[in-house]
């Protein structure tokens, strides 16, 4: 692989570690803002019907989901003087940053022109997100062979990347109000443009200050598409991980995008949205304990416990509108999500190893990229279902919430996520290996 200079085991500088993590921060800024506020922007600011938005989310994410495995194959076949992954950060930084702003633009369009605009911009946003996040994520093993340094870099990436999602969720509405000058659509566009600039700087910095040192196994680089597909045949741990991703993102997307509706329509206090968004920080606590619990009781058991905690405490949210109760239940539910979310990369790595043992083909890039099909499909269902609930309740952004609208918001914010987290725990029961694999001789 070209551009791989340096020592595979050399200590990474903090500048490189931080630059890699800040790349994730930059990518997560528009991703977090889109997940949290795009449905609200479309229905309450741009005047698009909730049913139309539901269809948009479902179709666009399905298109995006199909793109991900293709992106994985493209990464495996890329070879430049900068490496296999870094070039995408350079080539796509500006398009991704611009598109992250355009999805929050409200041009004076009507009818099919408006629908075509939001469909095109949102679909392109999803494709570009995959095209920059997949290379960044799969680049981690090329930075160093040292597992301790990989753990450090990954932990830093997770913390800093999550801070972007939580931070933009917490600060967006107050900043939009500051920038709006009486026009909320203008406030959204200004904030999206500012985050776009930050995204551009972070991605270019990650490209400039990281290096791909570890050579990719030549056998992986020569894999055909058919051979990559064989690594999925009979690979139940991989299928289980896809299902876990699918149900996880149904719940996460449905919950986070409905915070603003829950605070405004159920509680009657839209300003409480930022406080509720801040409870997502508890995911990091669960993530921190995930590895320790997995070492003590196993990954599958840890994941099932995390799924149960997330399902139960999400289901407890509507028992009271007291702010302390809402904060506490959300915090504990997010800690449960962290227990399973912190293991997703590790579960997939185990599935890759099993696929290589079973088929003889180690299709790491393809399996990781293909697994994100579950992620994108889950996001499409989670986003679309919440919008469909609002549509069926005849949601009108300009009218006082009816009992049907309140019930629809609670369905999207509570019952959809709680049931999906429960299903996630059931899916983990498929994550098991045959005795011949468990008892195999592992070469030193």
Count Cβ atoms within 10 A of the Cβ of residue 15 and give its class: 0-12 exposed, 13-18 middle, 19 or more buried. Answer: exposed
CB 443 within 8 A of CB 276: no
DSSP category for residue 413: I
> Does 273 have pLDDT greater than 70?
yes
**Topology annotation, domain 12-216:** Growth Hormone; Chain: A; (1.20.1250)
Q: Where in the chain is the domain with CATH 1.20.1250.20?
A: 12-216, 223-433
- Residue among 40, 393, 8, 388 nearest 214 (CA): 8
Give dist(CA 82, CA 4) in Å, integer: 8
Give dist(CA 91, CA 107) in Å, integer: 27
More confident residue, 158 or 276: 276
In the beta sheet, which residues pair with residue 80? 83
- Residue among 418, 171, 402, 169 nearest 265 (CA): 402
> Does 88 have pLDDT greater than 60?
yes
Count Cβ atoms within 10 A of the Cβ of residue 268 and give its class: 0-12 exposed, 13-18 middle, 19 or more buried. Answer: exposed
Give dist(CA 323, CA 258) in Å, integer: 17
CATH code of domain 223-433: 1.20.1250.20
Band the pLDDT of 372: cuts 50, 70, 90: confident
CB 197 within 8 A of CB 97: yes
The mean-pLDDT minimum among 37-51, 63-77, 155-169, 262-276 falls in 63-77
Give dist(CA 40, CA 16) in Å, integer: 37
In the beta sheet, which residues pair with residue 83? 80
Summary mean pLDDT of the chain: 87
Predicted pLDDT of residue 313: 98
What is the SS3 string spanning 341-397?
HCCHHHHHHHHHHHHHHHHCCCCHHHHHHHHHHHHHHHHHHHHHHHHHHHHHCCCCC
One-character DSSP codes across 21-49 = HHHHHHHHHHHHHHHHHHHHIIIIIS---
pTM for this one? Answer: 0.85
Give dist(CA 354, CA 358) in Å, integer: 6
CB 99 within 8 A of CB 121: yes
Give 376-389 pLDDT, tens digit per residue: 888 889 999 999 99
Give 117-142 pLDDT, tens digit per residue: 999 999 999 999 989 998 898 787 78
């Amino acid at each position: 692989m070209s551009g791989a200079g340096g020592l595979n085991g050399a200590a990474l500088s903090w500048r490189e570690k931080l630059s890699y993590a800040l790349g994730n921060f930059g990518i997560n800024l528009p991703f977090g803002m889109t997940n949290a506020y795009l449905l609200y922007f479309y229905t309450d600011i741009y005047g698009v019907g909730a049913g139309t938005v539901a269809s948009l989310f479902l179709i666009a994410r399905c298109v995006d989901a199909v793109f991900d495995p293709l992106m994985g194959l493209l990464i495996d076949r890329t070879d430049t003087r900068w490496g296999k992954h870094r070039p995408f950060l350079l080539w796509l930084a500006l398009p991704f940053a611009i598109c992250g702003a355009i999805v929050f633009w409200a041009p004076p369009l009507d009818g099919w022109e408006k629908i075509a605009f939001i469909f095109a911009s949102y679909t392109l946003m999803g494709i570009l997100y995959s095209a920059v996040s997949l290379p960044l994520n799969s680049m981690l093993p090329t930075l160093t062979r040292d597992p301790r340094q990989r753990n450090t870099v990954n932990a830093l990436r997770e913390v800093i990347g999550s801070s972007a999602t939580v931070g933009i969720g917490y600060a967006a509405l107050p900043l939009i109000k500051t920038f709006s000058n009486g026009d909320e659509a203008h406030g959204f566009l200004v904030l999206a443009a500012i985050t776009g600039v930050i995204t551009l700087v972070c991605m270019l910095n990650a490209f400039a200050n990281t290096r791909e040192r570890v050579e990719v196994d030549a056998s992986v680089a020569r894999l055909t598409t058919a051979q990559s597909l064989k690594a999925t045949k009979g690979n139940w741990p991989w299928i289980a991980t896809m299902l876990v991703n699918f149900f996880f993102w149904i719940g996460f997307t449905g919950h986070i995008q409905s915070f603003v509706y829950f605070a405004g329509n159920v509680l009657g206090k839209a300003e409480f949205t930022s406080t509720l968004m801040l409870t997502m920080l508890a995911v990091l606590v669960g993530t921190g304990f995930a590895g320790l619990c997995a070492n003590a009781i196993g990954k599958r058991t840890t994941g099932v416990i995390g799924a149960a905690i997330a399902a139960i405490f999400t289901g407890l949210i509507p028992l009271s509108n007291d702010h302390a109760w809402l904060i506490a239940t959300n915090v504990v539910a997010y800690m449960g999500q962290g227990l399973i979310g912190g293991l997703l990369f590790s579960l997939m790595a185990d599935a890759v190893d099993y696929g290589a043992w079973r088929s003889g083909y180690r299709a790491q890039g393809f399996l990781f990229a293909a697994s994100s099909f579950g992620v994108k499909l889950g996001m499409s269902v989670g986003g679309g279902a919440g919008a469909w609930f609002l549509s069926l309740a005849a949601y009108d952004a300009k009218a006082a919430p009816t009992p049907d609208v309140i019930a629809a918001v609670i369905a999207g914010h509570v019952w959809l996520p709680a049931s999906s987290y429960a299903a996630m725990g059931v899916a983990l029961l498929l994550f098991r290996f045959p005795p011949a694999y468990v008892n195999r001789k592992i070469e030193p």
